[in-house]
Amino acid sequence: MSIYPVILCGGSGTRLWPMSRGGYPKQYLKFDGGHTLVQQTVLRLRNAGDVAAPIIITNEEQRFLVAEQLRSISVKPSSIVLEPVGRNTAPAVAVAALLARQATPDALLLVLPSDHVILNDEVFGKLAAIAAGIAKDNYLVTFGIEPTEPHTGYGYIRTGEALLVEDGAYRVERFVEKPDAATAGRFLEEGGYCWNSGMFMLKASAFLDELRRHEPEILHQAELALAAGKRDVDFLRLDVEAFSACPNVSIDYAVMEKTDRAAVVTAAGLGWNDIGSWTALAELAKADANGNALFGDVLTEDVSNSYVRAEHRMVAAVGVKDLVIVETADAILVAHRNKAQDVKKIVEQLNRSGRHESVTHRKVFRPWGSYEGIDQGERFQVKRIVVNPGSALSLQMHHHRAEHWIVVCGTAKVYNGDQVLLLSENQSTYIPLGATHRLENPGKIPLELIEVQSGSYLGEDDIVRFEDQYSRMP
């Protein structure tokens, strides 16, 4: 019986601002210098037995991010499903179950968030095998984490009748909302409780049957959204109207808390963390003798129990303790470790004021590469542009700006009005206002160039596209 991994990639990760942002959330970031969180999640599947190519659930804005990150680790998903609007986990898993059942009638779904850390992949593989064995008997299995502290940030599961005592598998007696500190302490003392990880093993047909019993409207709209969906290059776009009509409900509320077939497999030593705050990430990091976790170009004097991360510049800290300090190219966060979860309130302020720092970094990724702002002033803007080998920007024009392109590295093929130019290092060209143009990289190495824009309006929305190989036409 094949296991179909379902990777949920739609989150925004606002609690890890300023690194995680709406347009580039935490699942696409490297916190340990190796792979990103979504890459770690996909690579971990090698320990989960007989698994099919993953089904990725994401959104329009993040589609090229996840596609590129999977390509870079040589993983080809079976589908990248694009949700037109966020509707929580129940509709997403419903669509995945319908897709998997089309391929294999008795398919199992291994549902995984894309932004969790698991330190012990071997334990994860054993847990997945136990869960798969139970799910074959039509149990809807959630993964429980044995609690190590009275944590108030997680939901809890009360275990019931044992299914496999030696393997830590039980029926679910009940789900418990995030408790206060006193209640969480009591759970720890009593035993028989575990944290709800948000990971699941489900037979597709069993899940759809339970959804039909308890939330039939979700299933109905998911079926319509999939039936009316359209393939677009590597992506499956769900129908906007049908999917938007889905109730906005989590899989826990829609099914797991209502079914009499809920089961849980519990794990100790998994090394699981949903890194819901900078404090959680700091707890995973290796600390020095003073309790500090330092990343990048960091200097400290009389600093203790702090997490300091420098991404672009040298950061110096003197005479402080219990802080989180995170530096990026365009923002710096300073927070007390006990208040790190309130970073989301800063993001809310940014959103209310319309500032871009909650959504984009100074470096912005595109399907063809990236661009990064270097300098700007009245009527001018300077960017560093990188175009991947074989990639091309859209054929476009601008109403309000002209552009100068200077090649720094690689080869540029430039369509400028009726001209076609081939430019190499230290060569340049000028794109007049209103001229139809396109930039391509025909070479084998990344093309790097400096773009100088000048004009009365320099916003990214001053682009009229005529052709685009990434289907970004209006």
In angstroms and rounded to an integer, the radius of gyration of the C-alpha atoms of the chain is: 25
pLDDT, tens digit, 9 for 90 and up, residues 74-123 = 999 999 999 999 999 999 999 999 999 999 989 999 999 999 999 999 99
Q: What's 239's domain CATH number?
A: 3.90.550.10
Q: Rounded to whole angstroms, how far apart are CA atoms 289 and 283?
A: 14
Over range 351-376, report the average pLDDT: 91
First-to-final CA distance of the chain: 42
Which ranges in 141-295 belong to alpha helices (H)? 181-190, 204-214, 216-227, 240-244, 251, 278-284
Question: What's the confidence (pLDDT) of residue 166?
Answer: 77
Question: What's the confidence (pLDDT) of residue 83?
Answer: 95
Q: Which domain holds residue 380?
A: 363-467
Let me know if residue 28 belongs to a domain.
yes
Question: What's the confidence (pLDDT) of residue 10?
Answer: 80
Do 238 and 308 belong together in one domain? no
Question: What's the confidence (pLDDT) of residue 205?
Answer: 96
Question: What's the confidence (pLDDT) of residue 33?
Answer: 67
Let me know if residue 473 belongs to a domain.
no
CB 159 within 8 A of CB 194: yes
Over range 386-405, report the average pLDDT: 96
Helix 204-214 × helix 89-103 angle, to 10°: 140
**Could you say which of 273, 292, 320 is where a domain stops?**
273
Q: What's 411's domain CATH number?
A: 2.60.120.10
Question: What's the confidence (pLDDT) of residue 471?
Answer: 78
pTM listed for this prediction? 0.89
Which ranges in 114-270 belong to alpha helices (H)? 121-135, 181-190, 204-214, 216-227, 240-244, 251
Task: Print the SS3 string covering 2-40.
Answer: CEEEEEECCCCCHHHCCCCECCECHHHCCCCCCCCHHHH
- Residue 311's identity, in one-letter code, is E
pLDDT, tens digit, 9 for 90 and up, residues 415-470 = 999 999 999 999 999 999 999 999 999 999 999 999 999 999 998 889 999 998 88
Over range 312-318, report the average pLDDT: 97
Bigger pLDDT: 13 vs 465: 465
pLDDT, tens digit, 9 for 90 and up, residues 32-77 = 768 999 999 999 999 888 899 999 999 988 988 999 999 999 999 9
**Could you say which of 273, 302, 326 is where a domain stops?**
273
Sign of the alpha-carbon torsion through 288, 16, 66, 388: negative
Which ranges in 324-396 belong to alpha helices (H)? 343-353
Do 289 and 157 belong together in one domain? no
- Residue 101's identity, in one-letter code, is R
Let me know if residue 84 belongs to a domain.
yes
Say whether pLDDT at 473 is over 90: no
SS3 content of the chain, % helix, strand, coil (to 5): 25, 35, 40
- The Cβ of residue 296 has, within 10 Å, a number of other Cβ atoms equal to 14
Let me know if residue 410 belongs to a domain.
yes
Let me know if residue 239 belongs to a domain.
yes
CB 425 within 8 A of CB 409: yes
Strand partners, 449: 385, 407
Do 376 and 454 belong together in one domain? yes
Do 237 and 167 belong together in one domain? yes
Do 250 and 181 belong together in one domain? yes
In the structure, what pLDDT confidence band is assigned to residue 234 with cuts at 50, 70 and 90? confident
**Could you say which of 238, 273, 308 is where a domain stops?**
273
Q: Rounded to whole angstroms, how far apart are CA atoms 303 and 320?
A: 5
**Dihedral angle, C-alpha 470, 73, 4, 166, nearest 10 °:** -150
For tokens 């709406």, what's the residue? 22
The closest alpha carbon to 292, from 313, 276, 309, 312, belongs to: 309
Let me know if residue 399 belongs to a domain.
yes
Let me know if residue 353 belongs to a domain.
no
Q: Rounded to whole angstroms, how far apart are CA atoms 106 and 102?
A: 10
Say whether pLDDT at 7 is over 80: yes
Burial call 244-261: b when 16+ CB within 10 Å, e when fewer: ebbeebbbbbbbbeebeb
Do 111 and 222 belong together in one domain? yes
Let me know if residue 474 belongs to a domain.
no
Do 303 and 419 belong together in one domain? no
Say whether pLDDT at 11 is over 90: no
CB 431 within 8 A of CB 462: no
Do 339 and 375 belong together in one domain? no
Do 108 and 22 belong together in one domain? yes
Question: What's the confidence (pLDDT) of residue 458?
Answer: 93
Q: Give the count of domains, the chain.
A: 3
Do 121 and 218 belong together in one domain? yes
Question: What's the confidence (pLDDT) of residue 443?
Answer: 95
Question: What's the confidence (pLDDT) of residue 23?
Answer: 87
Q: Rounded to whole angstroms, how far apart are CA atoms 403 and 304?
A: 49
Do 30 and 71 belong together in one domain? yes
CB 82 within 8 A of CB 237: yes
Do 108 and 173 belong together in one domain? yes
